[in-house]
Amino acid sequence: MTETKSLSAEKLAEIKENFSFFDRDDNNEIDVEEFTQLLKVISPQATTEQAEAGFAIVDENNDGHIDFDEFIEWWQTCWWEY
């Protein structure tokens, strides 16, 4: 897991803003539907199948949601690969 201590307050706030934008129901988690919408914004050619596969990778603990720590890890390391 990425340590948030290594992030500047400004960078952490930017990531949180992105997370919150896609967390449409404000439950502090991103579900597969919200993640699909996120991918459609950053990669319009992404398919639903690609979104579901990507979600499964980002959801490291396999609880069916992407929490903020999982999102930080993904956002810092590989979101641009989509």
Enumerate domains of the chain plus CATH numbers: 29-82 (1.10.238)
| pTM for this predicted structure | 0.84
The yes-or-no verdict on residue 82 having pLDDT over 70 is no
Cβ pair 2, 76 in contact under 8 A: yes
Mind listing the pLDDT tens digit for each residue in 30-49? 999 999 999 999 899 999 99
For the chain, the DSSP string reads: ---GGGS-HHHHHHHHHHHHHH-TT-SS-B-HHHHHHHHHHH-TT--HHHHHHHHHHH-TT-SSSB-HHHHHHHHHHTGGG-
**If 0-12 CB within 10 Å is exposed, 13-18 middle and 19+ buried, where does residue 43 land?**
middle
